[in-house]
Chains A and B, each alone.
Chain A
């Protein structure tokens, strides 16, 4: 035991009280958020998992049915149809959106007239309601009075029953709206990425005699791979949850051709009141989104590009 002078003791004491005070403050700042998340996110998730093992229908008390819902789900053509539609939607919308966003960012990264206007115009769809703009798109594609379907008919693209009632064209139409909505947002993320690439790197490769394409291929594209990864995951996650424009424009039709997983969750849980079964389907969606996130986590842990 060594002698500790009084002032040091007081300082130690003071430091401990400061750290205790700061710890208390931290929990005080966190508490409202943590309580809200626990009550309205964690608890409903636990409930959802529980529901998925019951036949709960809101009218009678839930009865435990074990894995019945999941067994039914595996043989349910509605589920496979929705899964297929969601996969198709995601497989088309994600790469198209990301490619267009990158193209728009590369284009708008040059000095040009009207650049501010064009950027704002491309971004604007991101802030408007997909459900509400879906109404306008339905109007534009109306077989009788729709302006766009009228224009398309003039160049030989005709649909007798209308694009949104045509089993072959309905999915394509809601995909276009889905792409339209998000390109601008990812473009802004890409622009931020482009502007963070040091100018010296471009300069150096220009001096080495690289042409525009080579500079893109060997400098820009590799240095954007963090953005590309993040944007692909965000776009794919959003696509897996496609709902709004589909609800408004086709309601899952014609003949369930545009019924996505979320549309099916909504139908099972809120139209047919099969809450247990709907919850089981929602866990399929949960697994898909979780798998995507794991890919992202793995990527950023291993080979995130730093410069």
Chain B
């Protein structure tokens, strides 16, 4: 059946022998195609509903303030404006917020990815005394909610002179128990032949890691990288605690503070929010295929 239908579907031939011979078969095929479209339209409708808040954000960001406060509210404005995108840079230190967020999320992602990969590789591939103890510790750390360390962490960083600074915000996030566990699981799934061959050829352990194993782990690193990047870019509680004001905050903390302090100007807030969400959404859309594959293959089963 599959051969025949494929040929008919591509429409490359009209030879009578290749068309499904019975009217029933034809009807079943047509029914199936209709069914796929019905299912698809139903799904897409739900999908649109789910992204509606984000679409609405985008529309409202271009809506003049006079229409935003008008009653009754409407989906589509009668005129568009880019004023909010211009004004947000002066209403709050938006460039500073943006810079802080890029430095915070960017540095944490790169450094944590490196340290997690190194530690995960060591746990997956090396036999040494104490390995099991370390691994059990990492598993135990997975269970610790971050909030239990929150109050003293501020003081610990204060004692180092890092309270309310960007390095202070970054340093505790330089490694991550989940990341180490995630990378360990991935390395366990890789074959050993390549590194053994390289070892016989006399390559140093550093070289084996940097030139062979780390490149092989790229799919898992991309997935973990998105986890780290979106988590830290989006995080609210930690930057809120670690920033002394708008100047030292990240985008989510800064926008939340701005919303709390002023008469709410939604047009401005929506423009700021759109700009704040853009990098993570773009990053995700770029790597979504390998991200989903990473979830499917690594330790999630």
Contacts and interface: CB of A to CB of B under 8 A. Distances in A.
A128 B144 contact: no
Interface stretch (A166-174, A201-209, A240-248): A240-248
Interface in A22-41: 22-23, 25-27, 29-30, 32-34, 36-37, 39-41
B151 A269 contact: yes
Contact of B51 (A121, A243, A248): A121
Contacts of A61: none
A36 B115 contact: yes
A70 interface: no
A125 interface: yes
Contact of A114 (B41, B60, B123, B237): B41
B143 A293 contact: yes
A21 B276 CA distance: 47
Contact of B145 (A122, A191, A289): A289
B255 A135 contact: yes
Residue in B75, B116, B226, B301 whose Cβ sees the most chain A Cβ within 10 Å: B301
A26 B121 CA distance: 8
B180 A113 contact: no
Given A112-B43, A144-B71, A266-B237, A32 B300 contact: no
B64 to A, nearest CB: 13
Given A33-B115, A147-B73, A196-B301, A265 B47 contact: no
Interface in B124-138: 126-129, 131, 134
B296 A195 contact: yes
B156 A47 contact: yes
B155 A30 contact: no
Interface string A286-302: 10011001000000000
Nearest to A245: B236
Contact of A47 (B119, B155, B237, B260): B155
Interface residues of A, number: 98
A188 B259 CA distance: 33
Interface stretch (A8-16, A71-79, A88-96, A277-285): A277-285
A76 to B, nearest CB: 17
B266 interface: yes
Contacts of A191: 292, 296
A96 to B, nearest CB: 14
Contacts of B43: 107-108, 112, 114-115, 118
B295 interface: yes
B150 interface: yes
Interface of B is mostly: helix
Interface string B260-285: 10001010011001001100110111
Contacts of A124: 50-51, 54, 281, 284
Contact of B40 (A34, A113, A285): A113
Interface in B40-98: 40-41, 43-44, 46-48, 50-51, 53-54, 56-57, 60, 68-75
B285 A131 contact: no
A114 B40 contact: yes
Interface of A is mostly: helix
B217 interface: no
A218 interface: no
B177 interface: yes
Contact of B147 (A19, A39, A108, A265): A265
B50 A189 contact: no
Nearest to A244: B236
Given A189-B295, A262-B237, A145 B128 contact: no
15 contacts: A33-B115, A36-B174, A40-B153, A40-B171, A48-B149, A48-B151, A104-B46, A123-B288, A129-B280, A130-B234, A144-B71, A180-B50, A192-B296, A279-B151, A282-B150
Given A47-B155, A48-B148, A120-B47, 13 more contacts: A23-B127, A32-B115, A37-B177, A41-B149, A48-B149, A117-B44, A129-B236, A145-B68, A189-B300, A244-B237, A265-B150, A286-B144, A289-B145
Interface of A: 19, 21-23, 25-27, 29-30, 32-34, 36-37, 39-41, 43-45, 47-48, 51, 58, 104, 107-108, 110-115, 117-118, 120-140, 142, 144-147, 150, 180, 183-184, 188-189, 191-193, 195-196, 226-227, 230, 237, 240-241, 243-244, 247-248, 251, 262, 265-266, 269-270, 275, 278-279, 282-283, 285-286, 289-290, 293
Going nearest first, the 3 A-B pairs with the smallest beta carbon separation are A113-B40, A121-B47, A47-B152
